[in-house]
Amino acid sequence: MKIRAGIVGGAGYTGGEMLRILLNHPSVDIAFVLSSSNEGNLVSDVHTDLFGETDLRFSADLLQDIDVLFLCVGHGDAKKYLAANFINPSVKIIDLSQDFRLKANAGNEWVYGLPELNRQEIKKAQYIANPGCFATCIQLALLPLAAAGALKNEVHINATTGSTGAGQSLSATSHFSWRNNNLSVYKAFDHQHLNEIGESLLKVDAQFNSTLNFIPQRGDFTRGILASVYTETELSEEALQQIYEDYYADHAFTHVSSKNIHLKQVVNTNKGLVHVEKHGNKAFIVSIIDNLLKGASGQAVQNMNLMFGLPERQGLQLKASAF
């Protein structure tokens, strides 16, 4: 028996990526794709790259005969949707918005869906709050140090994201004519993803109280996030490398590279790559992901695989763009 999946918010970037993955997932059938603004339209009329891949049409009705529901909706809309619609208690829910990521909003029902942090809890969970894209990338850079009790000093983070991180709706800073050949800083020092990063670091190191200085940037490319991070440490480069390799030894998608890394190694994949160096008294870490896959829809499917006892990599053995 295949897993029957429903997708709410199927017309956007994360909904489109969810469709592309699940259409080729050997253990999943897509029961419906909901988009009230596209009811009755072919999915391939919106996601034109899927022409010839599927005859699915968008629905405006929520079907109850499903096993898992993906909420690919805007921030604030997931909570509203769940309040307005009855969902069978047996249905597992994976929310890609930020509505349930923080403990204050999650209660005891929602598990924070970063497998590199909560793999065992995810396996037993009914409801998953998928992490943010910046939060995923930065946590992959910092969790090994925090878990080793070695994140004791101020942390400096500069991270640049592709334009798809802003979603599909147009804004002044997402038009091609503004974004192309351009670079800008936004939400310096107070990006919303800092809150979930802080909660995760405290989970692995209850003594963590260092300042996280985060400078997010909008890049002029489409997909991917590159985070460069540094903090003071007494550890040698060899010790740092061992800490990272040990932490990620049993994780399916996050890998530690002894060589410098670049975005084309991860774009169009669910991989996270991490590279660590020592410069003077500072540890320098580079972390990269695809913001729409490991930072959103790919990680959501990774969580689904864990929740249903499937091989973690199933349906996610994707090809990097490479060049």
Q: Is 137 among the catalytic positions? A: no
Of 87, 86, 139, the closest CA to residue 114 belongs to 139
Token code pair at residue 93: 């829910």
Q: CA 145 to CA 234: how far, in whole Å?
A: 12
Within its chain, how far is the Cα of 38 from the centroid?
26
Token code pair at residue 192: 């919303």
Q: CA 197 to CA 98: how far, in whole Å?
A: 13
Q: Which residues share a beta bridge with 28? A: 3
Please tell me whether residue 128 adopts helix, strand or coil conformation: strand
Within its chain, how far is the Cα of 244 from the centroid?
20
Q: CA 199 to CA 217: how far, in whole Å?
A: 23
Candidate list 18, 33, 50, 133, residue with the active-site label: 133
Token code pair at residue 117: 């942090």
Q: Is 238 exposed, middle or buried (0-12, 13-18, 19+ CB in 10 A)?
A: exposed
Instruction: Give φ, ψ of 227 to 5 degrees.
Output: -115, 130
Kindly list the distances between the CA atom of residue 182 and the CA atoms of 177, 179, 186, 220, 223, in Å, as whole numbers in the listed order. 9, 5, 13, 6, 15
Report the catalytic residues. Answer: 133
